[in-house]
Chain A
Amino acid sequence: DAMVIQNPRYQVTQFGKPVTLSCSQTLNHNVMYWYQQKSSQAPKLLFHYYDKDFNNEADTPDNFQSRRPNTSFCFLDIRSPGLGDAAMYLCATSRETGLDTQYFGPGTRLTVL
C-alpha cells in the first residue's frame, strides 16, 4: 500500500509558468519534507514542516513556496520555474521522535521547456 503519494509523477511546464506539486501521506507523520534532486546528486532539502510549523532552508530560492493544509497533504509551488528548476522533487515524511527513517514518495519529475 502506498504510504507517501506524489502527483503527478511527471510534470512538464513552460518557463515562467507556475506549477504545483502535491504530496499526501497515510502514515499520520508529523514531519513532512520537500527535496530537490538533480542527476544523482544528493537530495537537497528545500523546507520541512513539523505539523504546521514551516521551516525554510536558508538557500531555498523565494521562487519555491509550500503549503500544508492538514496532516496528510503538502504542496510545493514553484511560482516562476526556470530551466534550472528541472529536477526530481521528492516528498518525504518522518516521525517526530527522530530515531527513524524518512519515508519517501516516488517523486515528481519536473521538466521546464
Chain B
Amino acid sequence: GENVEQHPSTLSVQEGDSAVIKCTYSDSASNYFPWYKQELGKRPQLIIDIRSNVGEKKDQRIAVTLNKTAKHFSLHITETQPEDSAVYFCAARTSGTYKYIFGTGTRLKVLA
C-alpha cells in the first residue's frame, strides 16, 4: 500500500523567509496530493492541492510542486508570517481507492 514520508518534522524560520516541506510517496498510482494546515485543537484545513497531471500550482504565497518521476511533492511558503505557524500535513490518494495516506507532519514556527 501507499506510504508517505514527510520532512522535516520541525522547521523554524524567520518572519519573511521562505519555508519548504517535502513529501515522498511510494505508490506510482497516487494521483491527488493535498496539503493541510492544522492549528492547535482545530481540524486540518486544506491549503493547496495538486493533481498528478500538473507539475506546479500556486496560490498567493503558497505553492506546491510535484515530481511524478521521483515520486515527491513539496510545499513552498514564501514571505512567511507568524500566523503561518502550525502543523502541516501532506497526503496522497491513490487512484481507485478512497483512502488518503498522511505524512507524519511538520511543525512550522515562524519567528517574529
Chain B associates with chain A: yes
Chain A contact residues, CB within 8 Å of chain B: 31, 40-43, 45, 48, 50, 55, 88, 90, 94, 96, 98-102, 104-107, 109
Number of interface residues of B (CB under 8 A): 27
* Known A-B contacts A43-B102, A50-B98, A90-B43; A99 and B31 likewise in contact (beta carbons under 8 Å): yes
* Known A-B contacts A45-B99, A101-B34, A102-B100; A40 and B105 likewise in contact (beta carbons under 8 Å): yes
Chain A, interface SS category: loop
Chain B contact residues, CB within 8 Å of chain A: 31-32, 34, 38, 40-46, 49, 51, 87, 89, 93, 95-100, 102-105, 107
Question: Please, how many angstroms separate the alpha-carbon atoms of A55 and B98 in the complex?
Answer: 10
- A101: chain B residues at CB < 8 Å are 34, 46, 49
Identify the closest chain B residue to A90 (Cβ): B43
5 residue pairs, one from A and one from B, having the closest CB atoms = A42-B102, A104-B43, A101-B46, A31-B98, A101-B34
Given A88-B41, A94-B98, A104-B44, 14 new contacts (CB under 8 A): A31-B98, A40-B105, A41-B104, A42-B89, A43-B44, A45-B99, A45-B100, A98-B93, A98-B95, A98-B96, A101-B46, A101-B49, A102-B34, A109-B41
Q: Total contacts A to B, CB within 8 angstroms?
A: 53
| Minimum distance in angstroms from A37 CB to a CB of chain B | 9
* Known A-B contacts A104-B43, A104-B44, A106-B43; A96 and B49 likewise in contact (beta carbons under 8 Å): no
Q: Are A99 and B51 in contact (CB under 8 A)?
A: yes
Q: Are B34 and A48 in contact (CB under 8 A)?
A: no
- B107: chain A residues at CB < 8 Å are 40
- A99: chain B residues at CB < 8 Å are 31-32, 51
Contact of B98 (CB < 8 Å), options: A42, A48, A104, A105: A48
| Minimum distance in angstroms from A71 CB to a CB of chain B | 15
| Minimum distance in angstroms from A6 CB to a CB of chain B | 9
Q: Are A106 and B102 in contact (CB under 8 A)?
A: no
Q: List 27 A-B contacts (CB under 8 A).
A: A40-B87, A40-B107, A41-B105, A42-B104, A42-B105, A43-B44, A45-B99, A45-B100, A48-B98, A90-B44, A94-B98, A94-B100, A98-B93, A98-B95, A98-B96, A98-B97, A98-B98, A99-B51, A100-B32, A101-B34, A101-B46, A102-B100, A104-B44, A106-B42, A106-B43, A107-B43, A109-B41
